[in-house]
Structure 1
Amino acid sequence: MTYISAPPSAPAHGHSGSDWGDDGPPPEGLGQAIDLKRLIAVFRRRLKLFTAIVLLVLAVAIVVTVRATPLYTATANLMIDTRKENVVDAEAVLSGLTADTGVVDTEVEILKSRHLAETVVDTLKLTEDPEFNPSLRAPGVLQSVAGGVASLFGAAAPDAARARLSAIEAQKVKEEVVDTVLSRLSIRRAGLTYVMSIGFASEDPAKAARIANTFADRYLLDQLDAKFDATRQANEWLNGRLSDLRIEVQQAEAAVEQYRTANNLLSASGATLTEQEISTYNQQLATVRAQQAEAEARLRTARAQLASGSTGDDVGEALGSQVVQTLRAQRATVSGRVADLTSRYGPRHPDMLRAQRELSDIDTQIQAEIQRIISNLEAQAQVARERTASMANSLGGARGALAANNAAGVRLNELERNAESSRTLYQSFLDRFKETSAQEGIQQSDARIVSRAAIPTAPSSPNVPLNLALGLVLAIGAGLAMIVLAEMLDSGLTTGEDIERRFNLPHLGSVPILSSVAEPADRHETPVDYVLKRPLSSFTEAIRALRASILYSRIGQDIKVIALTSALPGEGKTTTAICLGRVAAQSGARVILVDCDLRRRNVNRLLGVEPEQGLLEVLNRSASLETAIHHDAASGLTVLPLAKNSFTPKDVFGSEAMTQLLAQLRSAYDLVILDTAPVLAVADTRILAAHADAVVFLTLWRKTPEKAISNALKLLSQSGSHVAGIAMTQVDMVAQSRYGYGDAGYYYGDYKKYYAN
């Protein structure tokens, strides 16, 4: 067979799997710095993969860059305007924007909004532009076939269903166009300023400028529309509210008047009628009281004069009476005539008597007139008293009415306050309505265009240097990711450090693949012949190192019986066993190799022998050990092979005969090598391994899965076998010296000249 192996390793120092303790070896890297050399070794090991991935990604980036459609970016600049024209001195319904950072960032997000993009799409009818609507582009072959099939199946659909589908498709197309427009749009704020840049990329430079300017225009119009809508809604609400308030004012005022009328609280010139009436009564009462006092004073004076003996001539009213004055004049005339008659006639003269009677009549009339005047004074005094009493009664009634009116005025005041508050509220709303009505048509945008987008003269995309740089970064990242992925998926063992870290077992050695260490002229040789032909070669030295590691794997105990096994077939057990036996025999030891693989008999094939008697015949007592063994004349190795076509279903390795045979071989030879079958394939190996002083577990370099090794070691542990350690076979020394940091093979380039091939 063609045998493949790996670099020689320093012998293990005889520690077994339990030497690490119950918890196993300390985790790799614990308390240590990052192992840069190990990382470099991993990178070197995966350099080809890394290079391939980097070249592939770079090629894709170059192809994408070359095939990309050139795009032109036009930019318009807007600024949040902090200065406002104050046309009318009235508070706006929708206040202007403040120019702080949060507001500017918010406006940037509004510029990125889907609503604004939809407005631009509708304004410029971009759904009819093939650049943004892929369905308007010339269809390819697959699209044509798909369209034909769709139309074929859609022909039988009802018209209403087709109309609904058309509406849905139209909306879907519009949404896709909006998504495309948003992907081409770039909004950014210039540092911490109030300036916002609107950039848009298109295949057509003029179209890019037009769309960027439309975004700026629609943004300003949306601001104005928002203010117009807010003002209009405020006016509509104020108008409706004014109608309600007007009704409330009317109802409140009507309630006041109704209450006034119902409670006789009518007023004029700011005072109620009752108050005015009381004021009049007070004035009139004062007048009549004065008149009463005057009449009573005249009456008392006249009575006092009469009581003092006066004839009444000196009474004031009599002095002023025309009748009394006339009578007094007549009496004076008659009195003059009586005096004249007295001088001429005697007292009994008829003329004298007539004159005296006439004088007496006049006096009687004067007294009667005076009595009438006194009686008139009494009547006037009585009338004055009655007038005063009547006026006082009227004043008292008016005061009673005023008290009732004052009690009713409490409720009237409440109604008047309600009416006044309704009037005040109505007036404030009316004033605000007039202000907001005056604002319509003079609203200002909170931003202004600093510079409109100009038609770009050079494409902004693809940016070849940037794309290549990003492609290189992405390629390196992908290459490194693939290295990490490959290392994660690589479950094989590469170095002795891997063995000790993963399985808590010693690394016994590494057997190289012959093609990696032999001279070109010797690469056709088989490993079992090469150890004899080149005893001083690095390959033979690797076998010696393996033998030494095995012999010293159990300090203080002799290792005479060793079993070589593996997890899977084809991992170099037989080749390693023969090489190990020949090297040990050449050193002067008595060595016997027992072929225990009943299904393969690879020892016969490698040594070129076909014996008639072998191991099974010895165990069956049909042949003696001396007749069954074969002597390797070239090396002095003794071999107990398997006879041709020999097989038995019996458990021969667990028999007493096998135990006796091993005891016989242990006493007759210095080293007994058991070439066994794979652990996972054949159960016999676990029985046989329990009889060995040490089990050497072989694994194929970078090939044997870690899970298979773990399962095999678990089975050996359950059988009570002592696994001395793990050795790697078919190690590529060239690759190991290049990549295998952490293993002695890493330094193969330094010591390979030490060997003589």
Structure 2
Amino acid sequence: MTETNDYSPSNGGRAGETIDIQRLISVFRRRLKLFAAVAAVVFVGVAALMLRQTPLYTATANLQINTRTEQVVDSKAVLSGLTPETSVVDTEVEVLKSPELAAAVVQDLRLTEDPEFNARLQEPGLVGTVKSWVGLGVDRTAPTTEAGREAERQQVINVVGQRLSVRRVGLTYSMNVGFTSESPVKAARIANVFAEKYLESQLNRKLDATGQANSFLRSRLDELRQQVQEADAAVSNYRVANNLLSSQGTTLTEQEISAYNQQLAAVRAQEAEQVARLRTARAQLASGSNGDDVGEALTSQVVQNLRSQRAAISARVADMSSRYGPLHPDMVRSQRELADIDAQIQAEIRRIISNLEAQVRVAQERTASVQSSLSSARSALASNSGASVQLRELEGNADAARAVYQSFLDRYRQTSAQSGIEQADATIVSRASIPTKQSSPNVMLNLALSVILGLGAGLAAVVLAEMLDAGLGTTDEVERKLGLPAIGSVPLVASVAEPADRGISPIDFAVKKPLSVFAEAFRSLRTSINYAGGSQGCKIVVLTSALPGEGKTTTSVGLARVSAIAGSRVLLLDCDLRRRAVTRALGLNTDAGLVEVLQGTATLESVLKLDEASGAYILPLSSTTATQDVFGTQAMDELLGKLRGSFDLVLMDTAPVLALADTRVLAAKADMTILLARWRKTPARAINSAVKMLQQSGAYILGAALTQVDVNAQSKQGYGDAGYYYSEYKKYYTA
């Protein structure tokens, strides 16, 4: 036979199968003892460990980041205050957890001398969070070196830091600072000191920053003052060297030019006035005036006096002309006086004109002089323009140095004024009070946690046991793990026998109790064989297993007897050359058997044995061990051909597949092979290896059957299998 079956669980449409709760419950019931044992051990261990913990107390102080600060002076602080932002509050939480702050608390409270935090000072045998160090190699001798003392101090700081809990309250600017200790008083005191040290560290940071700023500004001011002095000296020396002396922001030359410009404008105006007066007088004289109407003549006292005299004489001449004639001596004398006065007036006018001309010349000379001085000053200013560029650069440098110096001086005055008025960026909203009840261990919580851990460990043990369980427990597992049809299940006699029947041998049980579930298992297996063979005649069936001790012999004998009782002509061949299991189980002692028939030293009819209990025929093995391959010979083929015509069912009890090659030879010659597996014992990997070997030899594997099944256990744990419902159909079987 070269036909092989291609049965696969996936062909049954199981790929889309959902989680089966009943199957999980069945697994749990099967592993209930393991679950209970592991859960109990873990629960007791965890509970004992937790309940032995030293009671601890937690005290909490509350801090708040200041969202508003007092502004005593109107100037910026050297170290700005904290901004009320989420990241800032979270950062301050980490600052509170810093080792530096813990070190300050340890030093302030001298916690290195406290046995609760210093493992070296603890008494042996004490139990607690920190005291768990005892017995773990802690050196109890006092350190003698500086490095040893520092290491011990660091250990205490670490322990204190582990006892500290700092958390932000929601999204507020508040922070809870908690500390856990074996003493409630100590817990409250340390929590408050942490809060105080935190505020103190904030003030110290600001004081240090202000002091450093003042120190820096003082040293910098000395340098800047020297720079300002040097810059001013450079400007002054350059002015003197280049005649660029100035007053009120301008150089002397510029001031001189400004004065000359003013003088030039004044003398030019005066010159213009003098020229205008002279030009007017000359124009009046040129127009025929006798000079009486000349402006200077009108204001001249001499001319006015002469005019007064002439008026008097003119009045007298007029009076005399009416009385005397022109030749009258008085008339002639008066006219002569009048002419003399006119001559004097003209002489005075000429003198005035001459004076105007002299004034014009003086004004012109003065203007020329001022113009000359102005030109000289401008020439000097032009000659100094190159030097002024350098001067402006020096003045700019001096101004810049002075501005920097002034800014540093102002900032120094501000920081000096701020010294002593620094404020912390947080405040203590509430100080830690002495706790009245322990924070840990929480007995109820620990017990609940112990239960949870125990249950979890138990479930983990169940899962692990299932993962490591390589055996087969149900027909579903047979199909799923092996990819073979499950064709039967042979129960363990002890699980189905009544107390009075416990002494019956498994080989005889099916005959003596034909209505038992044990006998029915063989009838079910026989039915599977009959239906698999169809309408053909004799069926040659190989019964084998992957490993020894799988119940092959019991199954072979039981199947042969049940089939014979049912009326079939059945032959059972003992093909296990090493163990001769069937021959021994039935108590057959013969000098000739199967091997001798194949070797031709005995006939088939002479070696066949009749099982009187059932009517089945047995072809045993003699005690002679075969030293050659007797099953792969032509004689074996001829024997099987002969048996086909004489029997309805030929069963061959063979050796394990993995142990010997004989079984594969026989399986290839048989019509079908049934693979037996011991319930929950035979590893699935071993069976799969056997399946591969049989398929490679060309054997047709009808399916797999479980043997030695404890139906009582399966009825509780084997959900999905027929044995699961054993308690329901048990009443159909009678003793």
Q: TM-score range by the shorter chain?
A: 0.7 to 0.9
Write out aligned runs for 1:20-169 (5 A): 20=8, 30-139=15-124, 166-169=145-148
Q: Equivalent residue for 1:18?
A: 6
Q: Please list the CA deviations of residues 687-713 of structure 1 after superposition, one character each: whole Å capped at 9, or x if unmatched.
A: 111111111111111111121111111
Task: Pick closer, same or farther for the CA change 1:399–1:610 going to 2, 3 Å.
Answer: same
Comparing 437-446 and 586-595, the one that deviates more: 437-446
Q: Equivalent residue for 1:269?
A: 248
Write out aligned runs for 1:182-221 (5 A): 182-221=161-200
Comparing 442-451 and 675-684, the one that deviates more: 442-451
Task: Pick closer, same or farther for the CA change 1:60–1:143 going to 2, 3 Å.
Answer: closer
- SS of residue matched to 1:690: helix
Q: Which structure has more RCO (C-alpha within 8 Å, separation ≥ 6)?
A: 1
- SS of residue matched to 1:552: helix
What is the CA RMSD across the aligned residues, in angstroms?
Answer: 3.9
Q: Equivalent residue for 1:494?
A: 473
Contact 1:24 1:504 in 2 (8 A): no
Does residue 636 (structure 1) correspond to residue 621 (structure 2)? The answer is no
CA distance, structure 1, for counterparts of residue 470 and residue 136 of structure 2:
48
Q: C-alpha displacement at 1:475, in angstroms?
A: 1.2
CA distance, structure 2, for counterparts of residue 283 and residue 194 of structure 1:
74
CA distance, structure 2, for counterparts of residue 197 and residue 561 of structure 1:
85
Q: Equivalent residue for 2:210?
A: 231
Q: C-alpha displacement at 1:414, in angstroms?
A: 4.9
Contact 1:17 1:504 in 2 (8 A): no
CA distance, structure 2, for counterparts of residue 643 and residue 57 of structure 1:
58
Q: C-alpha displacement at 1:655, in angstroms?
A: 0.9
CA distance, structure 1, for counterparts of residue 444 and residue 655 of structure 2:
61
Does residue 736 (structure 1) correspond to residue 714 (structure 2)? The answer is yes
Residue type of the partner of 2:702? A
CA distance, structure 2, for counterparts of residue 742 and residue 291 of structure 1:
139
Segments of 5+ residues of structure 2 without an aligned counterpart are 127-132, 291-295, 303-350
Q: C-alpha displacement at 1:431, in angstroms?
A: 1.5
Residue type of the partner of 2:373? S
Contact 1:25 1:501 in 2 (8 A): no
Residue type of the partner of 2:378? R
Write out aligned runs for 1:368-407 (5 A): 388-405=367-384
Task: Pick closer, same or farther for the CA change 1:610–1:399 going to 2, 3 Å.
Answer: same
Does residue 472 (structure 1) correspond to residue 451 (structure 2)? The answer is yes
Q: C-alpha displacement at 1:515, in angstroms?
A: 0.9
Q: Please list the CA deviations of residues 160-202 of structure 1 after superposition, one character each: whole Å capped at 9, or x if unmatched.
A: xx97xx5554444334333322332222333444332222221
Write out aligned runs for 1:318-467 (5 A): 388-405=367-384, 409=388, 412-467=391-446
Q: Please list the CA deviations of residues 460-502 of structure 1 after superposition, one character each: whole Å capped at 9, or x if unmatched.
A: 2221111111111111111111111111111111111111112
Q: Pick from 533, 542, 554: which aligns with 2:521?
A: 542
Contact 1:16 1:554 in 2 (8 A): no
Segments of 5+ residues of structure 1 without an aligned counterpart are 1-14, 152-161, 322-371
Q: Equivalent residue for 2:678?
A: 700
Contact 1:551 1:559 in 2 (8 A): no
- SS of residue matched to 1:401: helix
Q: Please list the CA deviations of residues 241-266 of structure 1 after superposition, one character each: whole Å capped at 9, or x if unmatched.
A: 43444444445444544554454332
Residue type of the partner of 2:652? L
Residue type of the partner of 2:119? P
Contact 1:559 1:693 in 2 (8 A): no
Contact 2:63 2:175 in 1 (8 A): yes
Q: Please list the CA deviations of residues 16-68 of structure 1 after superposition, one character each: whole Å capped at 9, or x if unmatched.
A: 841449x76555xx433321111111111111111112211221133123321
Residue type of the partner of 1:706? A
Q: Equivalent residue for 1:363?
A: none
CA distance, structure 2, for counterparts of residue 144 and residue 169 of structure 1:
20
Task: Pick closer, same or farther for the CA change 1:586–1:171 going to 2, 3 Å.
Answer: farther
Contact 2:544 2:673 in 1 (8 A): yes
Comparing 257-266 and 71-80, the one that deviates more: 257-266
Q: Please list the CA deviations of residues 193-249 of structure 1 after superposition, one character each: whole Å capped at 9, or x if unmatched.
A: 433222222112222122111211111112212222332333334344434444444
Q: C-alpha displacement at 1:399, in angstroms?
A: 1.9
CA distance, structure 1, for counterparts of residue 390 and residue 534 of structure 2:
119
Residue type of the partner of 1:40? I
Contact 2:538 2:647 in 1 (8 A): no
Identity %: 56
CA distance, structure 1, for counterparts of residue 714 and residue 203 of structure 2:
75
CA distance, structure 1, for counterparts of residue 409 and residue 604 of structure 2:
128
Task: Pick closer, same or farther for the CA change 1:641–1:175 going to 2, 3 Å.
Answer: farther
Task: Pick closer, same or farther for the CA change 1:293–1:190 going to 2, 3 Å.
Answer: closer
Q: Please list the CA deviations of residues 413-441 of structure 1 after superposition, one character each: whole Å capped at 9, or x if unmatched.
A: 45444443443333223222221222222
Q: C-alpha displacement at 1:392, in angstroms?
A: 2.2
Q: Equivalent residue for 1:326?
A: none
- SS of residue matched to 1:33: coil
Q: C-alpha displacement at 1:679, in angstroms?
A: 0.9
Contact 2:538 2:645 in 1 (8 A): no
